[in-house]
Amino acid sequence: MSDWISFYDFKHSVIYVNARHRDVHYRKIAEDIRDYAASPAAHVLDYGCGEATSAELVAAACAQLVLVEAAPNVRASLTMRYAGHSKIAVVTAEQASALPADSFDLIVMHSVAQYLSHAELDRLLAVFRKQLKRDGLLIVGDVVPPHLAAPAAALTLLQVGAANGFFWAAVGGLMRIFVSDYLRLRKTVGLSHYEAPAMLAKLKAAGFATTRAPHNIGHNQHRMTFLARPA
């Protein structure tokens, strides 16, 4: 399903209607992740971080933040953005997979599971299970249920736009998504959807004791966040 990596490999992805939308989106995600980074000594991995324009907020609450981004142009822009930041490292997906066991107190993978095949997700969960410390936490966020995913995403975008002064840009952005590669890729490459019991079973099979969080990270509360600890 690597075509999705190419889809996201723009300096400014079509998914964000403008810079304000992108920054509101990443600020909310960073604030929510920060709430889980319970200790200033914590080592945190954000897998599939995207443009992560508010990563400093997470870094300020922990000892080290490793940003993992598979899309090369997005990664290059992250590397430039955080070049002078002593707590933030930017790595490829391959480099992340090669990191040693017991490295992280918190691993976050937010809004990525839908772009992975079931086998890819299983492989990554096994890597995360090894890299997580015994008392660590894995967060799998923004998991998309099979029904009403598109209307819920569109409604969330309009609501966030209305609340943050970019409603009409959000309307225009929705139209742009319609003529972008997004719908074609959704049909040809596909997206992975999960009901809550299916994701709980997947995480259990990977060696985690998991609960569903009361709130999804980010704005879209139609999607789900799971909190998984080594069993």
Task: Give contact residues for ligand SAM (rule: CB under 6 A).
Answer: 1-2, 4-5, 8, 29, 48-50, 69-71, 93, 110-112, 115-116, 120, 142
Give the nearest distance from C-beta 229 to ligand SAM in angstroms: 21
By beta-carbon proximity to ligand SAM, the closer residue of 74 and 134 is: 74
Q: Compute the radius of gyration of the chain from its Cα atoms.
A: 17
Q: Phi then psi for 46, rounded to 5 degrees?
A: -115, 105
Residue nearest to ligand SAM (CB): 50
By beta-carbon proximity to ligand SAM, the closer residue of 12 and 134 is: 12
Q: Per the structure block, which two tokens stand in for 185?
A: 């890729």
By beta-carbon proximity to ligand SAM, the closer residue of 69 and 105 is: 69
Q: Considering only CA atoms, which of 178, 69, 86, 95 is closest in space to residue 78? A: 69
Report DSSP state, residue 4: H
**How crowded is the C-beta side of 194, counted as CA atoms within 13 Å?**
26
Give the nearest distance from C-beta 201 to ligand SAM in angstroms: 22
> Are 229 and 36 in contact, with CB atoms under 8 Å apart?
no
By beta-carbon proximity to ligand SAM, the closer residue of 185 and 197 is: 185
Q: Phi then psi for 93, rounded to 5 degrees?
A: -65, -35
Give the nearest distance from C-beta 52 to ligand SAM in angstroms: 7
Give the nearest distance from C-beta 164 to ligand SAM in angstroms: 16
Give the nearest distance from C-beta 72 to ligand SAM in angstroms: 10
By beta-carbon proximity to ligand SAM, the closer residue of 2 and 231 is: 2
Q: Per the structure block, which two tokens stand in for 161?
A: 């736009």
Give the nearest distance from C-beta 155 to ligand SAM in angstroms: 17
CB proximity list for 122: less than 8 A, separation 6 or greater: 202, 205, 206
By beta-carbon proximity to ligand SAM, the closer residue of 209 and 215 is: 215
Q: Considering only CA atoms, which of 70, 65, 51, 75 is closest in space to residue 2? A: 70
Q: Considering only CA atoms, which of 108, 106, 105, 125 is closest in space to residue 199? A: 125
